[in-house]
Amino acid sequence: MVTPFVYRKYLDHAAIEELARYKARADREHARHGDLDLNIKEGRGGIREVELFAQVFQLIYGGDQPSLRTGHTLTALDQLGAHDFIEPEVQADLSTAYIFLRNIEHGLQAAEGQQTHSLSASARGLRALARRLGFDEIETLTAELDRHRDRDHAVYANLFPDETGEEGLAGRELFRLLAGEIDDEQGRARLAAAGVENPDGALQAIRALDAAPAQGRSSSRNLLANLLASILATEAPLCARGQVLIRLEKVVARAGAPAALYRTLLEDDELRRRLLLGLDAGDLFAARLAAYPELLDFLTAVDLDRDAFRTAVVAAFEEVIANGDDLPSRFDPFRRIKAIEEFKVLAEWLTGRRLSLLNDKLSLVADCAIEAAARAVASDLPPTPDATDPDAGWTVFALGKLGSRELTVHSDLDLVFVYAGETTDAARFQGHQKFVRAIYDLLSKRTAAGSAYEIDTRLRPEGKMGALAIPFPAFQRYLRERAETWERMAWTRCRHVGGDATLAAQVRETVDGFVYGPWADDIPGYARHVRSRIEHELAREAAGDHLDLKRGRGGLADIDFLLQVLQLREGPARNGFRVAGTRWLLETLPETDFLRPAEADTLRNAYWFLRELETVLRIHTDTGGGAISTDPSELEPLARRLREPLSGEDLLARYREVTGQVRTIYEAGMDRLGQDPA
């Protein structure tokens, strides 16, 4: 039990402070008593100073280097030199001096016949000691003694310098800040000098972290000082250390055992690095960890390929279904599993920044959640009284970002449920409405644990006023008789995500006939009109204070609208254009007269630039927003967090360049689509 207590993996600032106080007391004693020149142990440059020097380095480095864990001063000095913790000449000088001083000590005690560390004040006594040690004259002995003691004290005097710089000294200074030995004004100044932005907020967070309830105040404070030092000195590419401290405080406030968390982070370098990257990325990571502290365990989870990940997600949701007594009892566990699986994906994105993988896996989690919700509801509430197969007679399609597997954080779900049966069967109709309502509740109803997803019903037939589940004949009739051109465009992104596969194939055939039906020359003009209304009525960029990534001029909607109209034009005759989603069509775009290869490349690059910016924005703010400021200083936090970091001014310039290119291609492409190709 002694070894881990003494030689920790992190610095024991309390012990080092005690040694520093001992040194200060000794210095005062030396000044008061004329440096205690006759005392070779406690005096200036004596045995105690050599021992103290070695002990401080043992405390600092002994946790990582077992060979330093020794009670023998000479052995400790040898190992400190061998591992380059001290310079070779320092090790040699202190070792030689230590042996010399110990020899004097032994000579004194042999002469006096008792324990003593003081030189004789008489010439006779000194002469006897000199001869015992092999010196001919007193002067020769005292000259050698003075040389060793001067060198010892010169090294020892620099043991606790006033300046900070190394992580250990920064940690010691932070320990003093926590202990109240450095006031807030000095603390803010030193944080600012260390390059911490928002030193006021950072200092408040540090004070709050220190005030968190913990057993063993001194131990917890020591752990916190080490953790803060590692954050300030980390080589991880952090954009805002002050903001990291502020977000860390929010996480710790909900953790329940701060000291245990500090110790875990100090002893696991990779976990600490990933946590810092997450907290630096944005409010989203802090909010998730505060809501579910156990998510910390998943920051370093092994990244799985798509199939293995899907298997794990399905199993996690299945456990929720199996363990619930009824549907309400599954609500919070369901939300917890969704949060865990989504967090794993976000943690993987932190280190690789592969946005395509993030979109794909977040879409996969949503797919599994929908399937699990349907199974959970079917086990308690089958869609019809006579249903024996939970998938029989109904199917669900995703549109929007989920339909195209482009889901990102804070994306809502666009779902359309269709069931087999006639519109005149009232009992069947009511059974499916109740069934789908229960699925929506499990997915989106807000509880103490929040909601798993937001459901957007605007894309289903008749929009928000339409039925939750639509009889297949009514669905066919709606597409044939009442659906508008914008719905043809929206349904290019449909994808089957659950339910009866046979019915799904029938729905898919109906949708294809609707989407890829006869071309009308007025479609490009209609799409332009709708797009213009979205830009001017929803994006509202005219004020000049913000830019809308999706709906603004040259935004993602320009790319989506152009490619969807292209699909309506080329899709009837060419299956290569029947692809669910902008991302996938850009990756596999067949040759076409309506969009040149160079234009497609520009759109592809613009798409990923805008999607990355959208994702960084949503993680940073923990919202589903899509607007950015036109003030470069406000763009700075986003710009620095891109995969290829920029300044705020450069990001604004890049954004205007990219969206300008997109708008030019959008206009040219729509012009071509509105006329016969040359």
**Per-residue pLDDT reduced to its tens digit, 555-567:** 999 999 999 999 9
Percent of the chain with pLDDT over 90: 54
Whether residue 466 contacts residue 414, with contact meaning beta carbons closer than 8 Å, is answered with no
CATH class of 523-673: mainly alpha
Work out the average pLDDT over 40-54.
Answer: 86
Q: Is the pLDDT of residue 32 over 80?
A: no
* Amino acid letter, residue 248: L
DSSP string, 224-248: HHHHHHHHHH--S--S-HHHHHHHH
For residues 346 and 24, the model is more confident at 346
Highest mean pLDDT among 56-60, 166-170, 288-292: 288-292
Q: Is the pLDDT of residue 431 over 70?
A: yes
Domain 306-333+349-515 sits in CATH 3.30.460.10: yes
The mean-pLDDT minimum among 128-137, 287-296, 600-609, 626-635 falls in 128-137
Q: Which two tokens stand for residue 26?
A: 């000794």
> Computed from CA positions of residues 506, 374, 440, 316, in that sequence, does the dihedral angle turn out positive or negative?
negative
For residues 215 and 345, the model is more confident at 345
**Per-residue pLDDT reduced to its tens digit, 372-387:** 999 999 888 777 655 5
Q: Is the pLDDT of residue 69 over 50?
A: yes
Work out the average pLDDT over 103-116.
Answer: 77
pLDDT in the model for residue 165: 40
Work out the average pLDDT over 376-401.
Answer: 77
Asked if domains 2-157 and 306-333+349-515 share a fold, the reply is no
Whether residue 36 contacts residue 25, with contact meaning beta carbons closer than 8 Å, is answered with no
Q: Please name which of 79, 87, 88 lies closest in space to residue 61, comparing C-alpha atoms.
A: 79
Q: pTM of this prediction?
A: 0.79
Q: Quote the mean pLDDT of the chain.
A: 87
CA distance 368 to 314: 6
Furthest-apart CA atoms within the chain: distance in Å = 124
Q: Is the pLDDT of residue 161 over 60?
A: no
The mean-pLDDT minimum among 22-31, 237-246, 435-444 falls in 22-31
pLDDT in the model for residue 300: 87
> Computed from CA positions of residues 527, 531, 537, 542, in that sequence, does the dihedral angle turn out positive or negative?
negative
pLDDT in the model for residue 551: 97
Q: Is the pLDDT of residue 604 over 50?
A: yes
pLDDT confidence tier of residue 675, bands split at 50, 70 and 90: confident
Domain boundaries, the chain: 2-157, 167-298, 306-333+349-515, 523-673
CA distance 238 to 244: 8
Q: Is the pLDDT of residue 4 over 80?
A: no
pLDDT in the model for residue 308: 93
The mean-pLDDT minimum among 8-17, 201-210, 233-242, 578-587 falls in 8-17
DSSP letter at 645 equals -
For residues 396 and 382, the model is more confident at 396
**Per-residue pLDDT reduced to its tens digit, 297-315:** 899 887 888 899 999 999 9
The CATH architecture of the domain made up of 2-157 is Up-down Bundle (1.20)
